[in-house]
Amino acid sequence: MSSERLAGLLDEYAELEKRLADPAIHADQATARRVGRRYAELVPLHKAAAELEQARADLVAARELAAEDASFAGEAESIAASLPVLEERLAELLIPRDPHDAKDVIVEIKAGEGGEESALFAGDLLRMYTRYAERHGWVTEVIDAQDSDLGGVKDVSLAIKTKGVPDGGNGVWSRLKWEGGVHRVQRVPVTESQGRIHTSAAGVLVLPEAEDVDVTIDQNDLRIDVFRSSGPGGQSVNTTDSAVRITHLPTGIVVSCQNEKSQLQNREQAMRILRARLLANAQEQADAAASDARKAQVRTVDRSERIRTYNFPQNRITDHRIGYTAYNLDLALAGELDGVLDALTEADRAARLAGDTELTRR
């Protein structure tokens, strides 16, 4: 256990507590939210350190009493037995955590191989994440979407936010960061007249939503194009050039948005997505530079590069990264994802304790 690291984090906790007690900080809601999130991340550490310190003090007192009265010996032994558990808990909390765990996210879902069936499956994934968010009391917002002819989605960007400061610093990212990659479905498509099972796929990209302080964007680095929005099949749904496409020239990242009625609103939404992508890009570069890069989420929607399979005939959901299988696909699609997400979180915890940061990213 690093006493120096512990002391530094406890000092940070005390400083954040002082800042939050100052009414002036609440004049800037963005700053107050950011400080509050970091404070929430450190609350479990402060509590665990205080419990361990109290237990050690109680042990000293119990042993002193036991020296004078043997009836206290049992209490001293009980306290001594609890110390390793408290020490292990504190040591686990001292392991560097994902710096984005407290953040909200933007989930991008793209139909891939499989044509219209893939678009329908992408729509199923959109509803799955929306229902999961509802179960946790989170707020969802469709930033941009391109619907398909049969009611699916070709491409959709969904923002998911917590209400207020998340407990323990565990925001939406801490739960949904595992969802990035290719999701494969095996079922009889509605377009299949022979009753044959088909395999198709949809790609999911999960990005921590960036705040202004996380990413600096030079307006000179942007090329902004406007065009007319279009619906399924290319049918025009807007008679003005309200849709916006933003290209970040240094990185080549391109973002477009056409859901809103005004050009200004579409630009604001596109900038949200761009900031999130730039933050993820910067994090990947930083990880690579430190030779500790986690493999990036799968960006190509290829059926062979899958992280999870949804098998409808067997009502089975399988996560291939950790060998998780459950026969409750219907419940998972209804938003009951905690089974697989808990398994992924536990696998990550075990990997971090073992010093392996790539287990669930392979």
Residues 230 and 157 in one domain: no
| pLDDT at residue 297 tops 70 | no
Residues 206 and 310 in one domain: yes
User: Helix, strand, or coil here: 327?
Assistant: coil
Residues 269 and 324 in one domain: no
Assign residue 40 the CATH number of its domain: 1.20.58
Measured torsion, CA atoms of residues 146, 147, 152, 157, in degrees rounded to the nearest 10:
30
Residues 240 and 137 in one domain: no
d(C-alpha 10, C-alpha 322), whole Å: 35
Residue that is last in its domain, among 289, 314, 341? 289
Q: Note the pLDDT of residue 310.
A: 97
Q: Which of left, alpha, beta for 115 (phi over 0: left; psi -120 to 50: alpha)?
A: left
Instruction: Tell me which residue of 256, 255, 250 sits closest to 285, measured CA to CA.
Output: 250
pLDDT in tens, 258-289: 888 888 999 999 999 999 999 888 877 766 65
- Total domains in the chain come to 3
| pLDDT at residue 296 tops 50 | no
pLDDT in tens, 188-228: 987 777 788 999 999 999 999 987 667 889 999 999 999 88
Assign residue 324 the CATH number of its domain: 3.30.70.1660
Q: Note the pLDDT of residue 216.
A: 84
| pLDDT at residue 235 tops 60 | no
| pLDDT at residue 359 tops 70 | no
Residues 124 and 77 in one domain: no
Residues 63 and 170 in one domain: no
Phi, then psi, of 310 in degrees rounded to 5: -115, 105
Residues 307 and 207 in one domain: yes
CA angle 145, 146, 151 (to 5 degrees): 105
**Chain centroid offset of residue 147 CA:** 25
pTM: 0.76
User: What is the DSSP code (8-state) at residue 294?
Assistant: P
The 3-class secondary structure across 31-62, one letter per residue, is HHHHHHHHHHHHHHHHHHHHHHHHHHHHHHHH
Residues composing the chain: 362
Segments forming the whole domain that contains residue 283: 219-289
In DSSP notation, 211-224 reads: PTTT----GGGEEE
Residues 223 and 280 in one domain: yes
Residues 249 and 277 in one domain: yes
